[in-house]
Structure 1
């Protein structure tokens, strides 16, 4: 897939997620799901921005403060929604939200500690990601085969596509860093 098609695909998925967020409130009247999805959209915007510009530092203190405030706001609302799911006994939503928080923790680690993941660290990160994404696919499948869960189903699969894009951004950056490190000749000290 070339770069232009990839951008069209990415922004189409992001647009569908935004539409699905509005539908949670306007059609389904699911306030907790709306708060959850809206907060995830904010976090997605921050992660998209940061993961696509990992090779650049912050352009100003203001940029760093804005991104930090958006992250704190988004994570606060996500945790609030997670709490709401637990209190309302919506266990599938709670498991899904908690698992996504785990995915974010791994991605944030990879974005801010990029490098050559080898050996045990690479295997551990890979195993954690496989486990987390397996749970998320499982949740998506449960919604897919449940009655009257169209919005939840669409939401689950769209978020999986979204985070595939974020993963590609992070993976691309890590490969660029590894290539740059390999291109720098080592100096020998005497």
Structure 2
């Protein structure tokens, strides 16, 4: 990556073709499926669910770009954009509460919990490291709750929501948390 400075604004040039060629294909496939879900929700569901899906995809991409050190913005800008996205997600959550969509409410609360865990890991890594076992346990419990949401939607015959929830669990588990390494709880 190369960086340019314009009037004290730090801008990182977007990843080049080599980045995309070496980036894991399964991650690109998951991102493609999540992007497809935005269109599906826009076509067959409400504007609220389409905005919700779009906001979460952007948030996931931002976390991933920051993780692989390929973010197009400096850290301050990333945090500001992420905060705006979280506000949009909170507004969508409010609409779920208003419309008594309780499965969506519970699902949103679990995802909020996961975002809090990710934010703690990004913004206060020393705190997370001091409480590594508790952090690990809470994360596992959140993922168990999210898997429970898939089961709940299947029981309600909400196939698209169940598929979407399973895809998001895969996305965050594989892309963001790297679940395979995370599940190896290290004990010092």
TM-score of the alignment, normalized to the shorter chain, above 0.5: yes
User: 1:140-186 CA deviation, whole Å, 9 max, x = no partner?
Assistant: 11112322x222112101110111120029x68xxxxxxxxxxxxxx
1:1-190 matches, within 5 Å, as 7-28=24-45, 30-53=46-69, 63-114=74-125, 117=129, 121-147=131-157, 149-164=158-173, 165-168=175-178
Aligned partners of 1:123 and 1:66: how far apart in 2? 31
Structure 1 runs not aligned, ≥5 long: 173-190
Larger radius of gyration: 1
Stretches of 4+ moved more than 6 A in 1? none
1:123: Cα distance to partner? 2.1
Q: Deviations over 1:22-48 (max 9, x none)?
A: 1111122x2221111111011111111
Partner residue in 1 for 2:7: none
Q: Secondary structure at the match of 2:178?
A: helix
TM-score if structure 2 supplies the norm length? 0.75
Higher RCO, 1 vs 2 (CA within 8 Å, ≥6 residues apart):
1
Deviation string for 1:4-60 (max 9, x for gaps)?
A: 7971111101110111111111122x222111111101111111111222xx9x88x
Separation in structure 1 between the aligned mates of residue 83 and residue 177 of structure 2, nearest angstrom: 21
Q: C-alpha distance in 2, partners of 1:84/1:102?
A: 19
Q: Secondary structure at the match of 1:117?
A: helix
Alignment correspondent of 1:186: none
Question: Which structure's residues are more often strand, by fraction?
Answer: 2
Residue 175 (structure 1) aligns with: none
Cα distance in 2 for residues equivalent to 1:122 and 1:68: 23
* Structure that is richer in helix per residue: 1
CA distance in 2, matches of 1:36, 1:18: 12
RMSD value, Cα: 2.8
SS of structure 2 residue aligned to 1:89: coil
